[in-house]
Amino acid sequence: MQNLRELFENNRAWAAKIIEQDPAFFQKLAKIQRPDYLWIGCSDSRVPANQITGLQPGEVFVHRNVANVVVHTDLNCLSVIQYAVDVLNVKHIIVCGHYGCGGVKSALQGDRLGLIDNWLRHVEDIRDKHWPLLSRLKTQRQQWDNLCELNVIEQVMHVCRTSVIRDAWSRGQNITVHGWIYGVNDGLLKNLHVSFEDEKDIDMRYRDAVEKLSITVAR
């Protein structure tokens, strides 16, 4: 039986290296976690939150699922958001998509892959909502990239519209929701400039963000 010995060896070497730099590192972390960030990203193995942002264990609370989708009735994602906001008191929620997302591509093409189709239906809804914009793009690659970006913008809105965030904002809690996208080709993060720190003009600012994408498309 394959026992994945290599992974345990890697782990021991990693823990030893951390202790060498800071002998009390794990003791300190074991007592409390106080991350400033909640990361909502794709499960894609090429987009590990800690590594691409240079954050250490204890610094980012993470939720990942296929195509970084925030569904209003997903108890798992909602619980992560509620715990992050109400208990951990994170200052920033980052929804991070990525170019080359297989889930988004399947949604764009309407692929039949099995159970996952039901989950990706949420991304197909976004495709259909923005089809007037997407259909103006000449290549499927452009449509794919654009849908990856639109998906981030829509999921940012979903986070902002959860009862958890609306309640936090109405209490005056300092929390900002951001939309970023990561390039698996170059390893770089791009800010999509859809950041919300309150509900003020939220619909107008959402439309501006989508409009900005349409302008890029028109070029």
What does the binding site for Co ion look like in residue numbers (CB under 5 A)? Answer: 42, 44, 101, 103
Nearer to Co ion, 11 or 43 (CB): 43
Pick the catalytic residue from 44, 77, 130, 178. 44
CB of 116 to Co ion, least distance (A): 12
The type of residue at 141 is: R
CB of 99 to Co ion, least distance (A): 9
Annotated catalytic residue 207: no
List of E strands, 49-136: 60-65, 92-98
Pick the catalytic residue from 77, 96, 101, 148. 101
Nearer to Co ion, 50 or 65 (CB): 65
Alpha carbons 66 and 17: distance in angstroms, whole number: 32
Nearer to Co ion, 101 or 150 (CB): 101
Pick the catalytic residue from 98, 122, 127, 158. 98
By CB neighbour count within 10 A (0-12 exposed, 13-18 middle, 19+ buried), where does 5 fall? exposed
Give CA torsion, residues 131, 132, 137, 140, to 10 deg: 10
Nearer to Co ion, 44 or 154 (CB): 44
Alpha carbons 70 and 154: distance in angstroms, whole number: 9
Q: Which two tokens stand for residue 53?
A: 């942002």
CB of 33 to Co ion, least distance (A): 26
**Please, which residues bridge with residue 179 across strands?**
95
Annotated catalytic residue 167: no
User: How many other β-carbons are positioned within 10 Å of the β-carbon of residue 103?
Assistant: 25
Annotated catalytic residue 44: yes
Pick the catalytic residue from 46, 136, 166, 207. 46
Task: Please say whether the dihedral angle defined by the alpha carbons of residues 127, 131, 133 and 134, taken in this order, is positive or negative.
Answer: positive
DSSP type of residue 196: B
Annotated catalytic residue 136: no
Distance from the Cα of residue 34 to its chain's centroid = 19
CB of 103 to Co ion, least distance (A): 5
Annotated catalytic residue 128: no
CB of 67 to Co ion, least distance (A): 5
Nearer to Co ion, 116 or 137 (CB): 116
Catalytic center residues: 42, 44, 46, 98, 101
